Amino acid sequence: MSQSAPLILVTGGSRGIGAATALAAAREGYDVALTYASNKDAAEKVATGIRKLGRRAFAIKADTAMEDDIDRLFQETDSIGSLAAVVYNSAITGKNSALADAETSTLRDVVNVNLLGAMIVARETAKRLSKKRGGRGGSIVFISSRASDYGSPGEFVWYAASKGGIDSLTVGLARELAPDGVRVNAVSPGPIETEMHRPGRLEEAIKRFPFGRAGAPEEVADAVMFLISEKSSFTSGAILNVSGAA
């Protein structure tokens, strides 16, 4: 097993899109650090899959809503090796409702995980990747959502708003970090078969979408890996829809 493989960090890497991305990165020759919030067993299962592919894997418990956890996360990744890429996949929706019925704690929790956490992780990543700061360059990919365009009325407009913030962050940070050798892009999935959906929601949603089916986490992961790869070497500030034309 090579110790000199590039290192990628995937937040929220224990399930769904994050797990698929972590495994896809291993197949492409990356060592993988992945975070989980609470489900250690799920994270270790992904890590085991990565090791079976001949790559190193590190499952790190970290709540990306907490700055102290993020600081500790980067201390751990620094001890593993130099990051080449970071995928910010951590996200929550909170309980479905109209905004008028939502608790302030729900709004705060969603923004803290989905947007503030993404900004802090991106800040720490930029410090490490920026060529102007002694880094070797690299790539940041945010997982956004087509909810940023749909708005998700009656469900979780706050989630959609947080993902709209991710889209703006992608564009602005791409321009900010371009002179530093760091590319910044986002993948914006439509309906994907993950555990995030409440029972019946996905079945209802796909009736309205042109492909007539939900996407697989692996289809999102493939888009992420394209944006990290040299095949997209002139691509930064892009928001790539993976949504079956929705």
Q: What's the pLDDT at 196?
A: 63
Which domain does 206 fall in, by range?
Answer: 7-242
For residue 1, is it within any domain? no
Quick check: is 150 catalytic?
no
Q: What is the pLDDT of residue 182?
A: 98
* Assigned domain for 125 exists: yes
Is the separation of the CB atoms in 90 and 113 below 8 Å? Answer: yes
Do residues 162 and 143 lie in contact, with contact meaning Cβ atoms separated by under 8 Å? no
CATH number at residue 154: 3.40.50.720
Q: Report yes or no on 2 lying in a domain.
A: no
| Distance from C-alpha of 157 to C-alpha of 148, rounded to nearest angstrom | 9
Which residues of the chain carry a pLDDT beneath 70? 1-3, 195-201
* Dihedral, 73, 168, 153, 65 alpha carbons, nearest 10: 20
**Predicted structure pTM score:** 0.94
In-domain check, residue 149 = yes
Q: 10, 86, 90: which is closest to 46 by C-alpha?
A: 10
Look at the chain and report how many structural domains it folds into.
Answer: 1
Query: 162 — phi, psi (to 5°)?
Result: -65, -35
Catalytic residue, from 30, 36, 88, 159: name it: 159
With tokens 């709004």, the residue in question is 107
pLDDT given at position 173: 99
Q: Does the residue 235 lie in any domain?
A: yes
The CA angle 177-160-187, to the nearest 5 degrees, is: 45
How do residues 142-183 score in pLDDT, each as one tens digit? 999 999 999 999 999 999 999 999 999 999 999 999 999 999
Asked whether residue 23 is domain-assigned, the answer is: yes
